[in-house]
Structure 1
């Protein structure tokens, strides 16, 4: 995908966490899967907010409290799976796509904006799915076929881009780097997928203290290349009851639902 910005969708308004009730944040998360946030100006505030809405889980690169510092380490640029710790472009992806059950939620907060670039790129899996159902239905069917993708290294996970559940729900899972391997049937359709992702892309520059919360089973996230000392705090985890019932992924379009493709559970 080109690194040129393509603001296909207007970004959501930023909600100040110090004055916005958690119930409002939860309602927007349930409705759209994405909430833009403001006034998270301290690391302790970002961690406290994360802990108030999710069970924060540790990660390979996280600190002991579960927060991960996302910055250019100047050591990881050429290592597969470590693109987030460089200053290069980061292709749209699902967080932890190579594990059996990726975390439901991701919080990303800007601790230090870059000198140039580094905009967050977000694409709604529901819009991408509907786009493919309308214009490239064969591609959608193949991208939904079981075990047509393998994400991760030797301990990765065999899966598919779109996983269909009962009650017409769909979850998206994706990576587009060197740790993604594809069925020969799927590979010719990846350009359609990439184009649909870009058509429904939100460009979200983050200033100090701003961030976003997303449903990792619905939204893809990435970023543009940057220069300067960009630093983000990231938390991954499972939703707490305070958010109310949070259904997996999104409801698929009627046209796609009418296709007789198998439903697969993780």
Structure 2
């Protein structure tokens, strides 16, 4: 509930008071640019119908009136009156005084370790997720919160993993194809196609943009060993930052280089930090793949020794068993990982028996869009 609206700075700003005693300030230009009326935004899709140049540079608030559940503002010199829901203003307030330390994550993200996750791996049944929106909502929400989830009851047929992707989005095709096989090969083009163990890693850091989701589906698994494991890179980054702020600074300030040239006609290269932060310090992405790391040439000579020490310590923490959650995929099971956050690994397995997995890539924006649409539908139904 709004308690007062005080226009200031000759109409260039306004201060709003709320029932809980807090106060938030807004700029007239910001409010006008974000107006919700049908002349400013399309009623069909919410996109803007005007540009910043359509708004007078000397836009000010001429009058303000508190209405039930809303704030009504009149802008000059346009002479336009617009109503803003109080709830919308509260949700979009930017007048904050707290300074967040670099490496922060949103409330939608929950970091985890072996202790908190080993016995509570999020999972759902494929059939239930395909027919029940609440089940799908919970599974997608788990991927958003924890960065990974398991799905049971996936058809044990080639290409079935695409049906998992179809639940929320689309396959991202690469030079590996629409999907790729993960089983031992003679003269493999990638170490994933052997029976060797693989260090925890994120996939394809040599791509720009990197695939944001990976799905691995098990069709057959009768080998000894070959367990899958996942590591929360955000939790590891937090541990590094707590232990060595300087190491965290180095890995988040300087770019690493990654490359892949294992297939004929393919030569992929990218340059990004191992720990990527947004301009406001938000932890956005982890890139870690020893197999694809190219020579680092973007770190000054004076910092290279410390950079490599930080890289080594980051790798040690990633290998620390306290961060590792392990499970063995059986036929008909799949797991999905947020490839910008969660690293996955594989234990070595015997040469007898068969282990046949298939993998594919998808994009997180599709998953988050589907989840948001489901959540919006649930809210509308509740109202």
TM-score by length of 1: 0.79
Structure 1 residue 187: deviation in Å? 1.8
Maintained 8 Å contact 1:114/1:226: no
Structure with higher Rg: it is 2
Q: 1:225 to 1:162 in 2, by over 3 A?
A: same
| Distance in 2 separating the partners of 1:192 and 1:169 | 19
Structure 1 residue 214: deviation in Å? 1.4
| Distance in 1 separating the partners of 2:294 and 2:355 | 27
Structure 2 gap ranges (5+): 1-112, 130-134, 261-266, 374-383
Q: 1:15 to 1:123 in 2, by over 3 A?
A: same
Alignment partner of 1:132 is 2:245: no
- For CA contacts below 8 A with separation 6 or more, give which structure has more relative contact order: 1
Structure 1 residue 39: deviation in Å? 0.5
Structure 1 gap ranges (5+): 1-5, 246-266
Which residue in the other structure is 2:226 paired with? 118
| Distance in 1 separating the partners of 2:279 and 2:118 | 31
| Distance in 1 separating the partners of 2:222 and 2:201 | 21
Maintained 8 Å contact 2:123/2:151: yes
Maintained 8 Å contact 1:90/1:223: yes
SS at match of 1:206: coil
User: What is the root-mean-square deviation in Å for CA atoms of aligned residues?
Assistant: 2.2
SS at match of 1:244: helix
| Distance in 2 separating the partners of 1:114 and 1:174 | 30
Structure 1 residue 169: deviation in Å? 3.1
Which residue in the other structure is 2:72 paired with? none
Alignment partner of 1:52 is 2:175: no
Maintained 8 Å contact 1:92/1:176: no
| Distance in 2 separating the partners of 1:13 and 1:157 | 32
SS at match of 2:247: helix
Structure 1 residue 136: deviation in Å? 2.1
Structure 1 residue 178: deviation in Å? 5.7
Structure 1 residue 37: deviation in Å? 1.2
Alignment partner of 1:176 is 2:299: no
